[in-house]
Structure formats: C-alpha cells, structure tokens
Amino acid sequence: MKPKGTEKKKKKTFKPILSGTQEWPVVQLSKNRKLFIDKVVDEAFAKIRADNPKKNELREELETTLYREQLRIRQNPWKVDPDDEKRFWNKIKDELVDLVGNGNHREKEEELLKKILHRYTDEIAGNFRKSRYRLAREIIKFGFARLLNATRVKRFGAFFRNEYSLNDKIQIVGKAKQVRKLAKIGTVVMVPTHFSNLDSILIGWIIHVLGLPAFIYGAGLNLFNIKILAYFMNSLGAYKVDRRKKNPIYLEALKTYSNLAIQEGAHSLFFPGGTRSRSGQIESSLKLGLLGTAMEAQRNIFMDHPNKDGKKIFIVPVTINYNFVLEAPILINEYLASKGQERYYVESDAYSSSYNLIKFMIKFFTKGSDISVSIGRGMDLLGNYVDDKGNSIDKHGRFVDTRDYFMSNGELTADHQREEEYTIRLSKTIVKEYHRINRVFASHLVAFVAFQIWRKRYEKLDLYDFLRLPEEDLYISYDEFSDTFSIIRNEVFKLKKKKKVNVAAHLKNPLEEVINFGIDNVGMYHSRRPLLINKKKQIITKDLSTLYYYHNRMDGYDLEKYF
C-alpha cells in the first residue's frame, strides 16, 4: 500500500490468523443469535431461580426491578432506548398487580422473569455483521489515512497520498506475536486500560491489525446514542452494557451472556476499569463482574471437558498511552467533584452528537501526537504467565496446570466464594501488569514533575485549595525544572531496569530535547494548555486541574518521595 521508497522503519505486518471470516467465533455467534439468546436466558433463569428459592423472594426481585426500571425511564431516558419501553414495563406491572393477594404464583412469576430476561438479553446481544465489519474497517483505515496525509504532508494534493498510514501514528509494542498464537489455541480475553472514548474504536482497529478475528466487547449503551459510533460498534462486535440498569436480573443476564460467549470461544474484550479513568490514573481497582465471568467460563470449560480438550482462556492486559486525551478537562472535573463525596452524577459526554464526535476525530487524527499500545504477556486466570503454547508457568519457571486451582479433594468443584477470591487476585495481577507495561511518555513525566514541584511548594494546602490557586502565580525556572526532571527520569529508568515500568524510546533522548518534547505534547490541543514555557524560560500552566490529570498517569510508582 505504501510506496516502498518512503518506508523509514520496517513495520511488522500481520496476516490474519484465520483465513476466512466464516470460522470467526463471533460470526458463528451472530449466525446463531436467536439460539444463543435462548441459551443465555435459560441459564440466567436457572441461576436466578436457584438464588431465590423462597416463596416471596422472586416476587420481591421482580417488584424491585420494576420499580427501578420505571424510575430510570422517568429520570434518565436516552435516545437509544426502545420506544416500547414504557409499554413493556407497564404490562409487567399490570401482571404483577394481578398476582397480589393470590397465594402461590411462582409459575407466573417465573414466566415474567423469563420475559424480562429475554428482553434484556436481546438488548445486550451484539449484532455483528461480516459485511458491515469489513466496511467499517475500510472506512476507518481509508478515512484516517486520508486525514493523516492531508495534515502531515503539507503539500497540495496530499489528501490523496499514501505516505503515512495509521501504522505510523499508532505504535504497537509488546507481545503481539504471542497474542496471535494464543488466539489460535485458546480464547483470548483482552483487558485494556480505559482513558478515552476513542479506546473502543482504537482497540477494534488494533485487533484487526494484529490479524485477529473480531472480538466481542461490552460497550456502554450511552455510546450507542451517537449514531455513527453505534454503527461502528455494532460492526465491530460490541454488545451493549447499560450502566443505568443495576438490578440483579439485568446483571445476571449480562454476566451469563459474557460467560457463555467466552465458553463458545469468542475472544472478548473488557475494559475492566468499568469506565474511563476519571482521574487520569492507571486503573488501581477493577470491576470484578465481567472478569468473574471469565473465571466461571474457564471452570465450566474444565468441567465440560474432563478429557482436558477444552479451550484455555488467556488474559491479555493492554495499556494505551496518549499524549492528549480530549476529555481530560471534563474527566478530571468530574473526578474532583465526586471524590470525597460519592454522589451520583449524570454522565456528561464530551461529544454527545455525531457532529461533535467527527470534529473530535478529525482533531485527534490530524493533530494528536502518537499513540502507543502495549500488549502484555498472556496470563491464565490465576495470573500465571503462559508460554507461546499456552502452558501456564509459575514464577519459579515450573509448569502449572490451571485446572488444579479448581480442584478440591481430587475433583473439579464450583465454589463461588473461591472464584471471587481468585477474581480479586487476578484483578490485582492485571493492575500490576498495567503499571509494568505502561510506557512512560515525556509528556506524562513533565506533567508529573511540574505538578509535584508546585504541590511541594504548597504542601500545607489540601488538594482542592491547591488546585484553586491562581495559575498566574505558578512558575518554575527552567533550571530547577530540568534538574528535578533529570532525577525523576533516572528513577524511572531504575524502575524500568527492575521491570516495573516501560518507557517510550524518546524518553532516552538528551535531557533538554525530552523536556521540550514533553511540554510541547502534553495535552497539546486543550484550549488551556497544562504546561508551557514562557518568554522568560519559565515553566507555567494554564490549567492546573488538567495538569493534575496528566500527572496522575505516573501515580502508583512511588516517585513522589524524590521531591
């Protein structure tokens, strides 16, 4: 595609690991969509029935769900909600009312439960279509390539040139080859960090570049409000997760969907942080719900395949590094507003319409500096690394049989409490791995250093008072900044030696170059720049909160103590 002569560095290209899309697990899944939904409904139904064995329990569950759903419809309606929402729940209400006063109506209640589950599952289930997938993929590739060339090669007609492709803009580092191998022998569950709404599309594209079949992934239903995003996400194998619905029936349907899809061999993608990182920190605690479904799926596979021919599930952590997150100022303000006081706030999206989104995309892909995606080494569900053949290896280099973790008294057993603990353990391992494979950009480090220098100057203020300081009062002489930066960069290199973090290649450049590059890039397209150098060669900020956001990226490495 690219003219050979202009190629500066050798780029790896990956062939698809499966020749046709026909064999893709996600294609199989969508082909048998109806059957699969029925299966999910049956399984979730059995689970909820077993969890609510007593006479009135199921009734209570239904009534609470109804109450919450009606509240949601009244208080927080979304464009994407189906038109018959009100009607459906009114009908459920009528039928529940009819049951009042009558004695044992378990049968009728179970029927209602099934109805609700069916509605939920149908809403959750993705609508993957091969043809649309291909089209969407081409649009992304073609469109972005055009945009890149139009801006980077500033010549007339550059719009039609092919000098830059998305490959130049997005670096993929880490265990790309291994994930391809693992996807052939088992089921991959990819767990990326989540900073920007762009992640969903970006990761979809990465998966394609790696030659992997499309993954299924849970995407917030709110994103489907935006028509154009909905189109892409439907095409890329997304299923819908509605964060407004927190009732147990919905959650069970969602978990069962994910669990069964993984068991069917569909490679999956979770953002285990749940939502975008509001603070800019790398996720420090993960949502255990969806991770738990992977745990359950693995145990089920082991149980269903006593001959050990079942597929193994591999967890692959991924970090995405940006110099610039468009949503940063909004995210950090939400974070600051909600911290300390856990109150509910309605999500405000930076781009709630297709127009805003396109504007953002253009800005991002034309101006935003490079993005790097680090792919971590695959792990089994207990956090043991796996080799290229999928064998789990413990930290002493010995092979481990993952099945053994689910054995008790010589038998495979389903122990939910045990699996909950395992899931907590897995989530901790993933968080550690995020920090380890995270690539430090110059922009992250300058933000961190500047913020910490200022913070130390006003140690006595609490964070909120500190952030309210007038920005005009804040400056650091270049020399002081550069001295401190050099010390911290050294500490980062030490951490890198201990394999506790990774660094971008540009971080090793001469000091001044790195600092200038970092300052130029950190949050470069915000209207109020988090860091600038003024004419007196002082480091200044125009937006301390946003600086705090970018600074947070380096949180969790215990670097604060060097100031």
Partner 1 sequence: MTSKNTSKKPVAVIGAGSFGMAIANILAQNSEVLLYARDPEVIKKIATNKEHRGQKVHTNITATGDLSYIANTCDILFPIVPSSAFREMMQQLSPYLHPYHILIHGTKGLDIELGEGETLDNIKILNRENVKTMSEVIMDESVVIRVGCLAGPNLAKELAAGQPAATVVASHYNEVIEAGQQLLRNDLFQVYGNQDLIGIELAGVLKNIIAIASGILSGLNLGENAKGLLISRGMIEMIYLGKAMGGDVEAFVGLAGIGDLVATCNSTLSRNFTVGNRLAKGESLTEIIANMDEVAEGVNTIKIAKKIIDYHKVRAPITEALYEVLFEGLPVEKAIQLLMKYPYNVDIDFL
Pick the closer one to partner 1 by CB: 382 or 539. Answer: 382
> By C-beta, is 60 or 415 nearer to partner 1?
415
Contacts of 232 by beta carbon, 8 Å cutoff, 6+ apart = 136, 140, 201, 204
Residue 427 CB, nearest approach to partner 1 (Å)? 14
| Binding-site member from 7, 404, 473, 480 for partner 1 (CB under 8 A) | 404
The count of other CB atoms within 10 Å of the CB of residue 317 is: 27
To partner 1, the closest distance from the beta carbon of 521 in angstroms equals 34
Q: 324 with 525: CB under 8 angstroms?
A: yes
Q: How far is the CB of 399 from partner 1 (least distance, A)?
A: 10
Shortest distance (Å) from residue 181 CB to partner 1: 23
| Distance in angstroms (rounded) separating the CA atoms of residues 43 and 114 | 11
CB of 302 to partner 1, least distance (A): 12
Nearer CB in complex with partner 1: 124/381: 381
Shortest Cβ 282–partner 1 spacing (Å) = 19
Q: At its nearest, how many Å lie between partner 1 and the CB of residue 459?
A: 17
Out of 400, 453, 467, 540, point to the residue binding partner 1 (CB under 8 A): 400
Q: Of the listed pieces 102-110, 264-272, 354-362, 393-401, which binds partner 1 according to CB under 8 A?
A: 393-401
Q: Which residues from 92-121 bind partner 1, rule CB under 8 A? A: none
* Contact predicate 312/402, CB 8 Å: yes
CB 552 within 8 A of CB 519: no
Nearest residue (CB) to partner 1, 320 versus 431: 431
Give yes or no for a contact between 33 and 268, defined as CB atoms under 8 angstroms apart: no
Using alpha carbons, list the distances in angstroms from residue 350 to 221, 228, 372, 479: 15, 15, 23, 37
Q: Does residue 397 belong to the site contacting partner 1 (CB under 8 A)? A: no
Q: Which is nearer to partner 1, 400 or 540 (CB)?
A: 400
d(CA 278, CA 383): 26
Position 561 contacts partner 1 (CB under 8 A): no
Contact 391, 178 (CB under 8 A): no
Q: Phi-psi bin for 409: left (phi > 0), alpha (psi -120 to 50), beta?
A: left
Q: Which stretch binds partner 1 (CB under 8 A): 112-120, 400-408, 463-471, 524-532?
A: 400-408
Gap between the Cα atoms of 451 and 554, Å rounded: 11
What residues contact 498, with CB distance under 8 A and at least 6 apart? none
Name the strands in the sheet holding 371-375, side by side, starting at the edge strand that comes first in the sequence.
170-174, 371-375, 313-321, 187-192, 268-269, 216-220, 238-241
Q: Using CB under 8 A, pick the residue from 23, 98, 388, 401 that binds partner 1.
A: 401
Q: Quick one: which of 4, 15, 308, 396 contacts partner 1 (CB under 8 A)?
A: 396
State how far the Cα of 164 lies from the Cα of 149, in Å rounded to an integer: 6
CB nearer partner 1, residue 407 or residue 487:
407
Nearer to partner 1, 112 or 381 (CB): 381
* Sole window of 124-132, 269-277, 402-410, 441-449 interacting with partner 1 (rule: CB under 8 A): 402-410
**Coil, helix or strand for 383?**
coil
Smallest distance from the beta carbon of 417 to partner 1, in angstroms?
5
Among 71, 337, 407, 487, binds partner 1 (CB under 8 A): 407
Q: How far is the CB of 425 from partner 1 (least distance, A)?
A: 7
**Nearest approach, Cβ of residue 392 and partner 1 (Å):** 9
SS3 81: coil
List binders of partner 1 among 363-382 (CB under 8 A). 382
CB of 418: closest distance to partner 1 in angstroms? 6
R_g of the chain, CA atoms, integer Å: 25
Euclidean distance between the first and the last CA atom of the chain, given in angstroms as a whole number: 49
Residue among 307, 341, 409, 527 that touches partner 1 (CB under 8 A): 409
Parallel/antiparallel/unpaired status of strands 475-477 and 538-540: antiparallel
Please count the residues of this chain forming the interface with partner 1, following the rule CB under 8 A: 20
* 356, 408, 477, 534: which one binds partner 1 (CB under 8 A): 408
For position 405 contacting partner 1 by CB under 8 A, the verdict is yes
Q: Which residue stretch of 162-170, 219-227, 308-316, 398-406 sits at the interface with partner 1 (rule: CB under 8 A)? A: 398-406
- Can you tell me which residue has the tokens 């790309």? 176
Q: Compare residues 7 and 401 and give the one whose CB is closer to partner 1.
A: 401
The dihedrals phi and psi of 238, each to the nearest 5 degrees, come to -75, 145
- Under rule CB under 8 A, which residues in 410-469 are in contact with partner 1? 410, 415, 417-418, 421-422, 425
Between 268 and 392, CB nearer to partner 1? 392
506 Cβ neighbours under 8 A, 6+ residues apart: 441, 442, 514, 517
- Measured between alpha carbons, how far is residue 442 from residues 171, 331, 336, 515 in Å? 16, 22, 25, 7
Return the ∠ at Cα 251 (arms to 414 and 91), rounded to 5°.
130
- The footprint of partner 1 (CB under 8 A) covers 382, 384, 394, 396, 398, 400-402, 404-405, 407-410, 415, 417-418, 421-422, 425
